[in-house]
Structure 1
Amino acid sequence: MMSFPVTTVYLFLFSLLIFLNQSPLAASTITNTTDSDTKTAYELLNSFNFPSGLLPKGVQSYDLNERTGQFHAYLGGTCSFSLEGSYQLKYKSTISGYISNNRLTSLTGVSVKVLFLWLNIVEVIRNGDNIEFSVGIASASFPIDNFYECPQCGCGLDCVNGQVSKLRTKSFVSSI
């Protein structure tokens, strides 16, 4: 059995750590901090051609792998609200998926109540001036101007007046 001096083992481990920190995979991950040079989660959405109102107020941080587009957005806790005459939405404390220009895929952490069922929103696509939401078997399209303002947990879009805004729908399309 071959034995290595302790200093050689430490030197090897130290070199490996430096190599991993310099690798393209490590360099492609952005973590949002309080640094003013780092984009907010809402600015990040805008940079991929989405309105910031897709996320509720209160996103505390996020991370993004620029190479793959995988992201995680972190809220302080769960969040839910209703939009008058339309939908109830729930956000888990962590929302994740993959982001690219005009497309959010493999989403987890966001669900919508349709009739009596809670369905996970799995994909969001910007198609011109519309935002399309897919729950897998069905999708719905809404004008983008519904999403310029970020909803607030508990009360949605019009919390100051104690009223809840109504979401305008453009169409409903079933994939079946």
Structure 2
Amino acid sequence: MLPHRRLLLLAVAAAAAAGAAASAKPTAYEALAGFDFPPGILPKGVVAYTLNNATGAFTATLDASASGAGSSVCEFSIQGSYSLRYQTKITGKIKPDHLTDLQGVSVKVLFFWLNIIEVTRHGDNLEFSVGIASADFGIENFLECPTCGCGFNCNDLLMLQKQGATTAKLRLRGAF
């Protein structure tokens, strides 16, 4: 191939790659950042999402196999006293600093599961509303995404599992 044709071919390929990168859809977590929300309000495992920029209507779809229990929901505990549950399909409306009409996210309070219907950002705090009551949490609690089944303590859980396995092996060897 002639040198100028190679150069032309490389230029066309580079332009196509640049165009594809510019039109690449951001992840759901990146889309949240565009509305001033941290990524950790969604768990790991979002496999698809839609967003209507005109109305703010959105859907997010979680990988059902990421639940840790093989069920259709993602559930985990945080801060020792709250349990969160995400359905595989989450819907609502989003605008800067405000999520409304949420469906598919609930929190366990005492013995009852209550739907979180609204999330509002006030500076460095997020306010989660279940309608008749709300709770504020610092945004620093949501800088990383929780994992279905173990939340933010997955490394601790793995360490305990490994320690338990090691202890069992030591006992077994000591028995002989």
1:111 paired residue among 106, 113, 130: 106
Aligned to 1:150: 145
Gap change, CA 1:36 and 1:59, over 3 Å in 2: farther
1:79 paired residue among 70, 74, 77: 74
User: Residue by residue, what CA displacement relative to the aligned partner does 1:133-173 show, whole Å, maximum 9, x if unpaired?
Assistant: 0000000000000000100000000212218xxxxxxxxxx
Are positions 1:160 and 2:147 aligned together? no
Which 5+ residue runs of structure 1 have no aligned equivalent? 1-34, 164-176
Displaced runs of 4+ in structure 1, greater than 3 A? none
Report matched runs for 1:51-130 at 5 Å: 51-77=38-64, 78-130=73-125
For 2:114, what is the secondary structure of its paired residue? strand
1:44 paired residue among 31, 34, 39: 31
User: Residue by residue, what CA displacement relative to the aligned partner does 1:38-97 show, whole Å, maximum 9, x if unpaired?
Assistant: 100000000100000000000001001111000000001220001142200000000000
Which one has the bigger helix percentage? 2
CA distance in 1, matches of 2:102, 2:79: 24
The alpha-carbon deviation at position 102 of structure 1 amounts to 0.2
Letter in structure 1 aligned against 2:53: E
The alpha-carbon deviation at position 101 of structure 1 amounts to 0.1
Give percent identity, aligned residues only: 59
For 2:156, what is the secondary structure of its paired residue? coil
CA distance in 1, matches of 2:147, 2:117: 21
Aligned to 1:13: none
CA distance in 2, matches of 1:112, 1:74: 19
CA distance in 1, matches of 2:98, 2:144: 19
CA distance in 2, matches of 1:80, 1:155: 8
Of structures 1 and 2, the larger Rg is shown by 2
CA distance in 2, matches of 1:138, 1:160: 32
Count of aligned positions: 129
TM-score normalized with structure 1 length: 0.71
CA distance in 2, matches of 1:129, 1:83: 19
CA distance in 2, matches of 1:86, 1:140: 13
